[in-house]
A and B are shown apart, each in its own frame.
Chain A
C-alpha cells in the first residue's frame, strides 16, 4: 500500500498559523481566493476536456482529464425508458506517490467524490436520461464519464464537477435511426452528432473548515450563540486538505437552485452558516458557469469556421 504524505508538526502549525492570519502557503492573500481555472477542449473530438488549476507563479497545481464515451446497452428492468449514466473517477500513480494504480476504493476520496458528483447530476435531472432511449426496454445509450487526475494539489471536487458538466455539454453522441426495430448508428461523416440533453449546470463547491478552538470545546459551548468558531477556506491545497477539520459541500446552479448539501462530520456549524455559505457560493458558481459556456462557445466557433459560408441565411443587421 502506498505511503501517505507525512505532515510534520512544524508544518502543521505553520499552515494553521498562516490561515489564522489570512495567508496561504501558495501565495494567495485571502482564504476565499480560488486558483485560476483553465478549460481546454481537445479539438477534433467530442467531450474530451483537460482542466487545470494554476498557482500564482504559473505552475500547474491540479490537472484533470474528463472524457465522455457512449455505448448501447440494455436498460435496467425498472426503468426501460431511461438511459444509464456512470462516472468513473481515478487517481493514478501519475498524480503523486500517495496514489496507487488500479486500486479504486482504497482511497476513499475518489470513490466518495465520484459518487457525490454522480448523484448531483442524476438526482437533479441535469442529464435527461429519457433522451438516451433508443428502443424501450431493449436498447439505450450508456453515458460514461472517465475522470482521471494527472496532477494533484487539492481542489478535486470542484474541478471534477466542472469537468463532468463541460464534457457532457460538449459531447455529441452518434445519431441513430430506428426502422422496424432495426437500429442504424450513423457515423459523424454521415450525420451530425446529437448533443446530450443537459437541462441545467450544477457545480459543486467545497467549503473547508478549520477550527479556531479545540473541537471538544466547541461542542461544550453553545454553538448558536457564538458564530465564529471556524475558519472557512476555499480551494484547499493538498496539505491544507489533510489538516482540515470538516467540510461543507454545496452544489448549485446558476438559477439559484440548491441541488445538493453535504456536511459529513467534522466540527459543528450553526444553521445560519448554511444560508451564508449558499450566498457565498452563488457568485462563484455563476462565474464558473459563464467560463464553461464561454469555453464551449469558443470551441464551437472554431469547429464551424465555414458555417456562415454554407448557410443560406441572409446577413441581418443586428442592433
Chain B
C-alpha cells in the first residue's frame, strides 16, 4: 500500500483524499467517505470526503480500508454496525425502531431473530431497548436490523437489554466518536478499564449509534457510572482520572 497508515491529514469536504491523489484502490469505505457512481461503466469511480475530519488508512486481510474520523451526534446506519435500538411500534411482520431521537425509523423483522418461526415471535414492548446489528442499508428503504448472527443463526449476545432482578439500568446518549473510542480503542482510550480499576462494577453495552446502556447493582452506582461517562465525554483525556475519583467520592461515599 503506497499510502502509509501514518497518513493523517485534516480533510475538508472538497479536498482530494490522499489515496485519490496517489491512485490507490480502496476496497472498503468507512464513515465520512462517499463513492460517486458518475462513471460506473468505465470503472473509474471517484471517492469524496463528506465530513471534516482526519483521514485514516488501514489494511486488513489484504484489503485497503479508508475512513475519516469525525464527530457528530447524528447517526446514519451503516451495514455491520452494532447498535442499540428503541422499539417504537410493532406490525405483523416487524418492529419499528429508532436509532436516534428525531431520526428516521428502521425495521427489525421477526424473521431476523434466532430460531424464528411464524408462531414464535419475540414479545417486546414499545420503549424497550434491543442490542442488534444493522443488516441491510438501502437509500430508498428503511434500514433493516438483525438480532442474530445470520451466518451461524446463533444469538451471539444480541437481544433485549433489560434489568435483571435487583439491578438498576440506565441509558446515556452521547456523541458518535466517543462511542467508537470506548468500543474499539481501549488501549488508547482506557476509560472503561480505568473505571473498573477503581472498583466500580458495572455491565455495559455500547451501541455505535451513540447510546450506552449501563447496568449495576445499586441505583447510586448506576448514577455514578452515568455521571462519569457523561462528564468524560466533554473533558480532556488527562482529566478523566480526576473526574472518576471525584464522582465516586460524590455518589458512593464509602
Interface residues, chain A, with chain B CB atoms under 8 Å away: 2-3, 5-14, 17-18, 21, 23, 25, 27, 57, 97-98
Is B102 in contact with A97, judged by CB distance below 8 angstroms? Answer: yes
List B134-162 residues whose CB lies under 8 Å from chain A. 161-162
A25 to B223, CA, bound (A): 8
> In the complex, A12→B168 CA distance in Å?
12
Task: Identify which of B98, B170, B231 contacts A10 (C-beta below 8 A).
Answer: B170
What's the minimum C-beta distance from B213 to chain A, rounded to whole angstroms? 7
Cβ-closest chain B residue relative to A7: B127
B102 touches A23 (CB 8 A): no
Chain B residues within an 8 Å CB radius of A3: 101-102
Chain B residue, CB-CB nearest to A21? B219
CB proximity of A4 to chain B, nearest CB, Å: 9
Nearest CB on B from A34, distance (A): 20
Question: C-beta contact mask, B88-130 vs A, less than 8 Å → 1, else 0?
Answer: 1000000000100110000000000000000000000101110
Contact call A23/B127, Cβ cutoff below 8 A: no
Asked whether, in the complex, the Cβ of B128 is within 8 Å of the Cβ of A11, the reply is no
Given known pairs A17-B219, A18-B223, A23-B223, the reply for A10 and B171 (CB within 8 Å) is: yes
Determine if A9 and B168 form an interchain contact, defined as CB atoms under 8 angstroms apart. no
Give, as a whole number of angstroms, the nearest-CB distance from A212 to chain B: 16
CB contacts between A and B, total, < 8 Å: 53
Contact at B219–A2, with CB atoms within 8 Å?
no
Asked if B161 contacts A10 (CB within 8 A), the reply is: yes
Complex A-B: 19 CB contacts under 8 Å? A3-B102, A5-B101, A8-B128, A8-B129, A8-B171, A9-B125, A10-B162, A10-B170, A11-B171, A13-B163, A13-B169, A14-B170, A14-B171, A14-B222, A17-B168, A23-B223, A27-B227, A57-B231, A97-B101
Judge if B86 is at the interface, Cβ distance under 8 Å.
yes
- Bound: A2/B101 CA distance, A: 11
* Closest Cβ neighbor of A96 among chain B residues: B102
Q: Which residue of B has the minimal Cβ distance to A3?
A: B102
Q: Mark B31-46, 1 if CB is under 8 A from A, else 0.
A: 0000000000000000
Contacting residues, chain A, for B162 (C-beta < 8 A) = 10
Cα A110 to Cα B17 with chains together (Å): 48
Q: Given contacts A14-B169, A14-B170, A17-B219, is CB(A9)–CB(B101) below 8 Å?
A: no
Inside 8 A of A97's CB, which chain B residues have their CB?
Answer: 101-102
Residues of A within 8 A of B128 (CB): 8-9
**Min CB distance, A317 to chain B, in Å?**
52
Give 4 nearest A-B pairs by CB, closest first.
A97-B102, A9-B127, A14-B170, A3-B102
